[in-house]
Amino acid sequence: MTELETVDSWKSHGGTQGVYRHASRETGTDMLFSVFVPDHEPGTTLPVLWYLSGLTCTHANVTEKGEFRAACAERGIIFVAPDTSPRGEGVPDDSAGEWDFGLGAGFYVDASERPFSDHYRMASYVADELPELVSEHFPVDPERQSICGHSMGGHGALVMGLRHPGRYRSVSAFAPIVNPSQVPWGKKAFALYLGPDKSVWRKHDAVALIEDGARLDELLVDIGTDDPFLEEQLTPGRLEQACREKDISLRLRRQQGYDHSYYFISTFMADHVHWHADRLVK
């Protein structure tokens, strides 16, 4: 069994909220993540909802501000939140010190370009290594998984769902970057992580994946109408058009007056948990 260190643990909403550390084979660093486990009968397994966070975040943002525990306890769902990038001594960052690339901005890809390729392997970490580790240490039912995320993590959730058909029973997102190969945040990250070949970029872009034949049965997406990144970076209309053209059921909810923050996410988090739960218990 892979070694797992308990960093902290609290009783909350009829369950246990923990933060854990392990040595990652994919990133070559120690990685932190959080897990909420509702109280349950011994020997039973529970469905799991994976949550991918956005730019500059760690596992702590949603753990402390996401307000998911009451709904997860009610529906009997394990909630797992990984970090957004590798961290530690020797992990390369953006040399210019800009906030939207490097540490805290892994974009859920496996980097192929130096100097990032040694550590920035977040696609394999989230898709393969962390699920294996969580299954070893927590009462997860691997046949009942769903995924959601925010902003950069919304991009990650959509791409994970599209690239791994059949793995997740449901996929949702808050304010996702839906077409990263065509917007400033994504162009910067993809060029530095993946190199200049834009055909490679398409494999990490939800709109492009849908255009190229990837499918999901349905999607739930919430966006705030007062989100300052809405038009330049998030471009939800492109996802709406792609889903319409490819006959994918998209429920795109434009939430009036909400922005990009956890005030927005926490308001609608329980909706997403219950939406996933309805699909996880089938």
| CA dist., res. 160 & res. 109, Å (int) | 10
Q: Which residues of 237-275 are buried (b: 16+ CB within 10 A; e: fewer)?
A: ebbeebbeeeebebeeeebeebbbebebbebbbbebbeb
Distance CA 252, CA 176 (A): 11
Q: Which amino acids are annotated catalytic?
A: 151, 227, 260
DSSP H stretches of helix in the chain: 59-65, 69-75, 122-124, 130-137, 152-163, 184-194, 198-201, 206-211, 236-245, 262-280
Q: Tell me the CA end-to-end span of the chain in Å, nearest whole number.
A: 31
Cβ atoms 219, 173 nearer than 8 A? yes
